[in-house]
Amino acid sequence: MSLKQLGWNDFFADAFSRYATLGWVPARIIRDNKISYGVLDQEGHEREAVLGGKVYHDAISDAELPAVGDWIALEIGKPGEENVIRARLPRQSRFSRKTPGKSTQEQVLAANISIVCIVTDAGADLNLRRLERYFALIGRGGASAVVLVNKSDLYSPEENNAAAAAIQALAPDAKIIITSTIDGTNVKAIQKLLSPGVSITFIGSSGVGKSSLVNALLGEKMREEGHVNEVTGKGRHTTSARELILLPSDGILIDNPGIREVQMWTDETTLREKFLDVFEIAALCRFHDCRHGSDEGCAIREAVAENRLAAERFEAFLKLDEEIAHLKMRLEKRRITLERRAKRDHRIKARNLADRRDHEFHLKPRPTGL
Ligand SMILES: Nc1nc2c(ncn2[C@@H]2O[C@H](COP(=O)(O)OP(=O)(O)OP(=O)(O)O)[C@@H](O)[C@H]2O)c(=O)[nH]1
Ligand SMILES: [Mg+2]
Ligand SMILES: [Zn+2]
């Protein structure tokens, strides 16, 4: 893999040159874990990295913090130490929105992308007013817009064409493609948008098929190369984190959670509630402290053997404690970050207030008669 395949170009090379002498290396952010980041380096190694203090403190808004797709200067830690993001390189383009709730805050959803693919369908999801807002956001960020009218297998050709025409009328310059991941309609046409170093991000409501499209593009590649790699796995799977996926010979895809970003795993209770059926069966185990391994009279193993409970579900259940521990750790880290952010916001407010006071001071009429 080369940096070029990851989207590197002269613009970034220029910006990076002053960091090279410090021993830092260029890398691109592929995942935002809120606390740490997943980054991909020149060798194609995926690393975990934390935000350097200076990058954090210099950011006067959240939009200036690194986002998925950003290029950064990375200090690779000594064995056992953390990798640190020392600088974020300027962006060539971005796709951002206003942070829900806070009217003036900008949230960068993806940085340095060439194309934003809005995914919708010809039926329930189609909403021209919403598409208008998407177009406005895209236009501001410097990427070009493509609209995929997906799930075409569910609608008549007339319905699909009418939807495409209505969207085209809104955005004469946008490319509109009617697609289906079920029967493969126009997956090839989406593939044509890709080329080495080109980054594409997929946005749209939850359930319109963003991850399925990413999988379809990946699938073509993986089948050719004999790999198995799925973003969504089997069945319905709501994407919960933004993620950059590299197709080494074709381009770069960024999958996004549905734009409403319903946070599924909010607390331990919701996590447990997902497994009420398994808990019910577990109550029938002979021993109340049954570990559902080799203990005698285990109702869960029996249910799996009799196909009343899917083996995958049982496995997910076994991992539940682990997942809850993980969740608690994440929430704790998140709390610490939020606290730090609040302190920073407070500092900025204090600074602005001080500036305003200075300003008002200067505006006061000078004492006369001196
Ligand atoms: N009929 C039909 N179903 C589709 C198509 N594309 C995706 N689906 C189905 O729609 C459901 C949602 O697909 P996803 O790809 O997970 O949707 P998403 O946009 O990634 O959703 P979020 O991650 O929640 O934002 C899945 O059950 C898919 O199988 C399509 O072209 N036709
Ligand atoms: Mg998804
Ligand atoms: Zn048991």
Average pLDDT, the chain: 82
Q: Closest ligand 1 atom, CA of 185?
A: 31
pLDDT at 337: 78
Strand partners, 29: 39
Return phi, psi of residue 233, to 5°. 70, -165
Residue 82's pLDDT band (cuts 50, 70, 90): very high
d(CA 89, CA 66): 9
* Nearest ligand by distance to the CA of 152: 1
pLDDT at 221: 53
Q: Under DSSP, is residue 289 helix (H, G, I), strand (E, B) or coil?
A: coil
Q: Closest ligand 1 atom, CA of 240?
A: 23
At 139-149, the pLDDT tens digits run: 878 999 999 99
Ligand 2 centroid distance, CA of 188 (Å): 20
Mutate to test the pocket of ligand 1, among 180, 181, 262 (most ligand atoms within 8 A of CB): 181
d(CA 188, CA 192): 6
181 lines ligand 1 (CB under 6 A): yes
- What residue owns the CA closest to ligand 1's atom 28? 209
d(CA 118, CA 120): 7
E strand or H helix at 46? strand 46-51
Does the pLDDT value for residue 367 go beyond 70? no
Q: Closest ligand 1 atom, CA of 206?
A: 25
201 lines ligand 1 (CB under 6 A): no
Could you give the C-alpha distances from 89 to 6, 27, 74, 97, 367, in angstroms and in order?
15, 10, 11, 20, 49
Mind giving me the DSSP string for 156-205?
Answer: -HHHHHHHHHHHHHH-TTSEEEE--TTT-TTHHHHHTT--TT-EEEEE-S
236 lines ligand 1 (CB under 6 A): yes
Q: Closest ligand 1 atom, CA of 183?
A: 31
Mean pLDDT of 282-300: 88
* Nearest ligand by distance to the CA of 206: 1
- What residue owns the CA closest to ligand 1's atom 6? 209
The CATH code of the domain at 94-255 is 3.40.50.300
At 147-160, the pLDDT tens digits run: 999 999 999 999 99
Ligand 2 centroid distance, CA of 138 (Å): 20
Could you give the C-alpha distances from 350 to 54, 217, 364, in angstroms and in order?
20, 49, 21
Mind giving me the DSSP string for 10-31?
Answer: HHHHHHHHHHHTTT-EEEEEEE
- What residue owns the CA closest to ligand 1's atom 7? 209
pLDDT at 164: 98
Ligand 1 centroid distance, CA of 212 (Å): 5
Ligand 3 centroid distance, CA of 367 (Å): 86
Nearest-5° angle of CA 136, CA 139, CA 145?
Answer: 100
* Nearest ligand by distance to the CA of 278: 3
Q: Closest ligand 1 atom, CA of 215?
A: 15
Closest CA to 231 of 157, 186, 181: 181
Structure letter (DSSP) for residue 232: S
Kindly report which listed range (44-53, 75-84, 145-154, 342-351) carries the lowest average pLDDT score.
Answer: 342-351
206 lines ligand 1 (CB under 6 A): yes
Ligand 1 centroid distance, CA of 210 (Å): 6
Mind giving me the DSSP string for 91-134?
Answer: PS-EEEEEPTT-TT-EEEEEES-SEEEEEEESSTT--HHHHHHH
Question: Are the beta carbons of 173 and 182 closer than 8 angstroms?
Answer: no
User: For residue 337, how many C-alpha atoms fall within 13 Å in the half-sphere facing its CB?
Assistant: 15
At 163-202, the pLDDT tens digits run: 999 999 989 999 999 999 999 999 999 999 999 889 999 9
234 lines ligand 1 (CB under 6 A): no
Q: Under DSSP, is residue 369 helix (H, G, I), strand (E, B) or coil?
A: coil
pLDDT at 232: 40
Ligand 2 centroid distance, CA of 170 (Å): 26
Mind giving me the DSSP string for 54-105?
Answer: HHHHH-SSGGGS--TT-EEEEEPPPTTS-EEEEEEPPPS-EEEEEPTT-TT-
Q: Closest ligand 1 atom, CA of 205?
A: 25
- Fold topology of 4-88: OB fold (Dihydrolipoamide Acetyltransferase, E2P) (2.40.50)
Does the pLDDT value for residue 15 go beyond 70? yes
pTM, entire model: 0.68
- What residue owns the CA closest to ligand 1's atom 21? 207
Ligand 2 centroid distance, CA of 149 (Å): 16
Beta pairing class for 115-121 and 144-150: parallel
Residue 293: Cβ-neighbour burial (10 angstroms; 0-12, 13-18, 19+):
exposed
